[in-house]
């Protein structure tokens, strides 16, 4: 009588294709890691210990990811009856299924190279975000890369590898039955459950080099870890203070000389902002430029000459040269520029549930009879932009508002060319002016984004390159201002030009501050005297500073401050990722992380490197905690929403104070 095959025998026979797939995946993982190491360049020093860590820990994560990815094959090997499995049809199904799995794994590896080239990391929350918008993302890939050629080459490589290693996919079965094969499936399930609960993506982050930590991970594993973290509850995952203490601390931090709290309620941040004299009801055009790093400018050392117009505009504007963005995604910039709040972990408020009727800058303008528009060159369903802005005081205007037959000089999957976006913006400005209304426009550009294609005969740089997109950004802003000068309302308009975030977020540290440095111009020849402001400034400070320059007296629950009212030494910024929450003050950066972790370093503002800050500045740790805890708590409980009395007129200061 034959004995039932034991577990090792099952693995050698029926489940042998799992070994074939595991070897393929480990090799793909190692080759991907080698390619990413080369792409990291000087980001990873020539240190064998770094390499050993990246490849050793990386293989462990690859094997864990393989446990998840192999489930389709495990189910096939378990469920298919013996007579079908060993038949000719079963053999070809095994070859075909193996080829599909291998192609998929190689395609994921190639996609990681593209993602790393753009963002300097393995798959993360950005990849999760983009997965929702397949039209734009797939279109972007098709317009940016030779996708057909890549798929053909990967398909050819798949066929060659399967043919050369076909013995590993041969259908062998030593007379197993369903229950015996079920033992392997059960063991696989146990391994899956144990690794899911025992291992976290952050366990690999043990070196002082962010690139090495990224290389030590696995793209597929990181993708699903980011997916699970898309809704991070601050109180559950981050360091906290007693609620009363947190609110008391934030009330002290947001208080400025021109502000008075309207109540003694410790959880109410509402202040009355008072300025002396009449308000200036000037038009305001706020331009947030896609992915525009400060270091594109000659003023910050760039030698390519790709921003001659914006460099010239510095001497004609109030120019802020020490400004830092809130995050690494467009929605973080939009959140900061409309709501003036620190970033909340996980999803941006722009994309979160229950984000309607929030206290926004548009409300402040609308209370004064302004027409407030958000104008975007693409389709505003992307990143939930149209919904967010249309439910928070703005009228949403996007690509669909360009009438059929109107001239479009160029467009790609992200939107129309910036010059056509500015034409759309001028149309809204003209209409508001014709109706006798002052206007506030927030214009969000798209051209400085891969695939970096721009209209012909605008720039000399090669189309499809970052340099061409930046040069075109420079040209189109200059062209917009030139056209705006012909309008009767130009002398009564203030142009505020900044960026949503930098072009790259990668660095050797978890929050490299040099990757958050963005410029800010406030340009209005008739009303704003040129000067250069070098005080540290956060993206959340742009709104209050702009309103202060207009001399507005209003009720505020903004977290930002008018930089001209903020006492020297209190400046700070909030550079963050979707899960790492930074607080930059002076020469110290504090970063809060999930699992109640924190780090505090002294960053190098030029290259993003950092050294530990010792001893730890506990006051700054508590300030950091308070800011993020309170912002998250207020949004979670609906207390960032606009209230009925927010439009109550606020009387100006008396007697008149010194003008700025």
Model confidence over 621-648: pLDDT tens digits?
999 999 999 999 999 999 999 998 888 8
Residue range(s) occupied by CATH 3.40.720.10 in the chain? 237-267+281-647
CA distance 338 to 396: 13
188 SS3 class: helix
pLDDT band at 6 (very low <50, low <70, confident <90, very high): low
Question: What pLDDT does 260 receive?
Answer: 96
Model confidence over 477-502: pLDDT tens digits?
999 999 999 999 999 999 999 999 99
Question: What pLDDT does 1 receive?
Answer: 42
Q: Region 13-37: what's the mean pLDDT?
A: 92
CA distance 360 to 460: 40
Percentage above 70 pLDDT, the chain? 94
Four-residue CA torsion sign, 83, 86, 87, 90: positive
- For residue 564, pLDDT beyond 60: yes
Neighbouring residues of 332: CB distance < 8 A, sequence distance ≥ 6: 325, 326, 343, 348, 500, 501, 576
Neighbouring residues of 462: CB distance < 8 A, sequence distance ≥ 6: 468
Q: What is the pTM of this model?
A: 0.84
Going by their DSSP bridges, the two strands 371-376 and 554-556 should be labelled as unpaired
Model confidence over 195-234: pLDDT tens digits?
988 888 778 888 888 889 889 988 888 888 777 665 678 9
Residue 97 half-sphere exposure toward CB, CA atoms < 13 A: 23
Q: Region 594-612: what's the mean pLDDT?
A: 91
Higher confidence at residue 603 or residue 178?
603
Beta-ladder partners of 495: 285, 523
- The DSSP output letter for 429 is H
pLDDT band at 126 (very low <50, low <70, confident <90, very high): low
Question: What pLDDT does 337 receive?
Answer: 98
Higher confidence at residue 359 or residue 413?
359
Question: What pLDDT does 658 receive?
Answer: 45
Range of weakest confidence among 62-76, 110-124, 474-488:
110-124
293 SS3 class: coil
Q: Which of 83, 543, 53 is nearest to 286 (CA)?
A: 543
Residue 339 half-sphere exposure toward CB, CA atoms < 13 A: 30
Question: Do 452 and 469 form a contact (C-beta atoms < 8 A)?
Answer: yes
Range of weakest confidence among 84-98, 271-285, 514-528, 545-559:
84-98
Question: What pLDDT does 2 receive?
Answer: 46
Question: What pLDDT does 24 receive?
Answer: 95
Four-residue CA torsion sign, 7, 10, 12, 15: negative
Q: Which of 404, 352, 61 is nearest to 233 (CA)?
A: 352
Residue 601 half-sphere exposure toward CB, CA atoms < 13 A: 19
Question: What pLDDT does 324 receive?
Answer: 98
Model confidence over 294-353: pLDDT tens digits?
999 999 999 999 999 999 999 999 999 999 999 999 999 999 999 999 999 888 999 998
Question: What pLDDT does 608 receive?
Answer: 83
Q: Within the chain, how many helices (H) and strands (E) appear? A: 22, 18
Q: What is the largest CA-CA distance in the chain?
A: 106
Beta-ladder partners of 259: 273
- For residue 385, pLDDT beyond 50: yes
Structure tokens at 222: 């990181």
> What single string gives the DSSP state of each residue in 505-547?
---SSSS-GGGGEEEEEEE-TTT---EEE-S-EEGGGHHHHHH
Beta strand residue intervals within 127-187, DSSP E? none
HEC readout, 607-650: CCCEEECCCCCHHHHHHHHHHHHHHHHHHHCCCCECCHHHHCCC
Question: Do 563 and 545 form a contact (C-beta atoms < 8 A)?
Answer: yes
CATH number of 237-267+281-647: 3.40.720.10
Q: Region 539-546: what's the mean pLDDT?
A: 98
CA distance 560 to 255: 10
- The DSSP output letter for 276 is B
Residue 206 has a CB neighbour count (10 Å cut-off) of 11
Residue whose entry in the numeric block shows the structure tokens 């593209």 = 114
- For residue 513, pLDDT beyond 80: yes
Question: What pLDDT does 145 receive?
Answer: 77
Angle at alpha carbon of residue 500, lines to 292 and 126, rounded to 5°: 100
Using omega within 30 degrees of 0 as the cis cutoff, is the peptide bond preceding 451 cis? yes
Question: What pLDDT does 230 receive?
Answer: 59
Question: Do 486 and 466 form a contact (C-beta atoms < 8 A)?
Answer: no
Q: Region 174-200: what's the mean pLDDT?
A: 87
- For residue 132, pLDDT beyond 70: no
Residue 398 has a CB neighbour count (10 Å cut-off) of 23
User: CA-CA-CA-CA torsion for 462, 467, 468, 472, nearest 10 degrees?
Assistant: -160
Higher confidence at residue 39 or residue 562?
562
Cβ-based burial of 226 (10 A; exposed 0-12, middle 13-18, buried ≥19): buried
pLDDT band at 363 (very low <50, low <70, confident <90, very high): very high
123-145 residues labelled b (16+ CB within 10 A) or e (exposed) = bbbbbbbbeebeebbeebbebbe
CA distance 90 to 500: 54
Range of weakest confidence among 2-16, 19-33, 85-99, 392-406:
2-16
Range of weakest confidence among 13-27, 120-134, 396-410, 521-535:
120-134
First to last CA, the chain: 98
Using only C-alpha atoms, what is the Rg of the chain?
28
Question: What pLDDT does 657 receive?
Answer: 47
- For residue 532, pLDDT beyond 80: yes
Percent helix, strand and coil across the chain, each to the nearest 5: 50, 15, 40
CA distance 57 to 66: 14
HEC readout, 203-221: HHCCCCCHHHHHHCCCHHH
CA distance 538 to 569: 14
HEC readout, 557-570: CCCCCCCCCCCCCC
CA distance 368 to 281: 8
CA distance 542 to 188: 54
Question: What pLDDT does 131 receive?
Answer: 61
- For residue 171, pLDDT beyond 90: no
Please provide the average confidence, as pLDDT, over all residues in the chain.
Answer: 91
CA distance 558 to 542: 11
HEC readout, 314-380: HCCCEEEEEEECCCCCHHHHHHHHHHCCCCCCCCCCCCCCCCCCECCHHHHHHCCCCEEEEEECCCC
Percentage above 90 pLDDT, the chain? 70
Q: Region 366-387: what's the mean pLDDT?
A: 95
- For residue 135, pLDDT beyond 70: no
- For residue 659, pLDDT beyond 50: no
């Amino acid at each position: 009588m034959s004995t039932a095959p034991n577990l090792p025998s099952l693995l050698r026979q029926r489940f042998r294709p799992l070994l074939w797939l595991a070897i393929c995946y480990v090799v793909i993982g190692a080759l991907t890691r080698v390619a990413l190491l080369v792409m990291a360049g000087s980001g990873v020093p020539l240190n064998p210990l770094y390499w050993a860590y990246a490849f050793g820990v990386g293989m462990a994560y690859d094997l864990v990811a393989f446990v998840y990815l192999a489930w389709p094959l495990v189910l096939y090997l378990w469920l298919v009856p013996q007579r079908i499995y060993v038949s000719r049809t079963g053999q070809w199904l095994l070859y075909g299924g193996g080829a599909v799995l291998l192609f998929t794994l190689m395609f994921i590896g190639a996609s990681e190279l593209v993602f790393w080239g753009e963002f300097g990391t393995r798959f993360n929350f950005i990849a999760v975000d983009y997965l929702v918008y397949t039209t734009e993302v797939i279109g972007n890939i098709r317009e940016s890369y030779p996708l057909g050629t890549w798929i053909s080459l990967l398909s050819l490589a798949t066929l060659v590898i399967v043919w050369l290693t076909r013995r590993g996919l041969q259908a062998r079965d030593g007379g197993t039955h369903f229950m015996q094969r079920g033992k392997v499936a059960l063991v696989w399930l146990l391994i899956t459950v144990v690794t899911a609960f025992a291992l976290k993506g952050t366990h690999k982050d043990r070196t002082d080099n962010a690139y090495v930590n990224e290389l030590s991970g696995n793209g597929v594993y990181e993708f699903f870890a980011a997916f699970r973290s898309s809704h991070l509850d601050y109180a559950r995952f981050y360091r906290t203070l007693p609620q009363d203490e947190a609110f008391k601390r934030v009330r002290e931090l947001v208080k400025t000389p021109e502000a008075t709290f309207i109540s003694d309620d410790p959880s109410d941040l509402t202040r009355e902002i008072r300025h002396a004299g009449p308000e200036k009801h000037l038009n305001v055009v706020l331009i947030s430029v896609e992915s525009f790093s400060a270091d594109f400018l000659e003023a910050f050392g760039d030698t390519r000459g790709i921003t001659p117009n914006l460099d010239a505009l510095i001497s004609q504007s109030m120019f802020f040269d020490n400004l830092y963005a809130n995050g690494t995604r467009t929605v973080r910039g939009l959140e900061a520029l409309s709501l003036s709040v620190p970033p909340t972990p996980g999803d941006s408020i722009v994309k979160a549930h229950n984000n309607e009727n929030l206290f926004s800058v548009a409300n402040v303008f609308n209370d004064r009879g302004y027409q407030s528009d958000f104008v975007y060159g693409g389709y505003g369903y992307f990143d939930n932009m149209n919904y967010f802005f249309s439910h928070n005081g703005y009228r949403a205007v996007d690509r669909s508002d360009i009438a059929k037959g109107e001239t479009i000089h160029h467009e790609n999957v992200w939107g129309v060319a910036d010059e056509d976006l500015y034409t759309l913006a001028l149309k809204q400005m003209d209409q508001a002016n014709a109706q006798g209304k002052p206007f506030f426009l927030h214009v969000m550009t798209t051209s400085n984004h891969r695939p970096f294609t721009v209209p012909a005969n605008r720039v000399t740089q090669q189309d499809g390159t970052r340099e061409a997109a930046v040069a075109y950004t420079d040209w189109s802003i200059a062209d917009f201002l030139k056209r705006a000068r012909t309008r009767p309302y130009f002398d009564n308009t203030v142009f505020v030009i900044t960026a949503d975030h930098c072009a790259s977020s990668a660095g050797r540290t978890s929050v490299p501050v040099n990757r958050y440095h963005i410029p800010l111009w406030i340009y209005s020849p008739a009303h704003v005297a040129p000067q250069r402001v070098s005080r540290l400034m956060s993206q959340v400070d742009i709104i209050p500073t702009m309103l202060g320059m207009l001399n507005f007296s209003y009720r505020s629950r903004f977290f930002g401050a008018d930089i001209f009212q903020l006492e020297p030494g209190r400046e700070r910024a909030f550079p963050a990722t979707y899960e790492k929450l930074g607080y930059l003050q002076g020469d110290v950066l504090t970063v809060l992380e999930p699992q109640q972790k924190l780090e505090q370093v002294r960053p190098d503002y030029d290259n993003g490197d950092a050294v530990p800050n010792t001893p730890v500045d506990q006051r700054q740790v508590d300030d950091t905690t308070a800011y993020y805890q309170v912002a998250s708590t207020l949004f979670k409980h609906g207390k960032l929403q606009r209230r009925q009395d927010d439009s109550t007129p606020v009387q100006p200061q008396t007697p008149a104070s010194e003008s700025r």
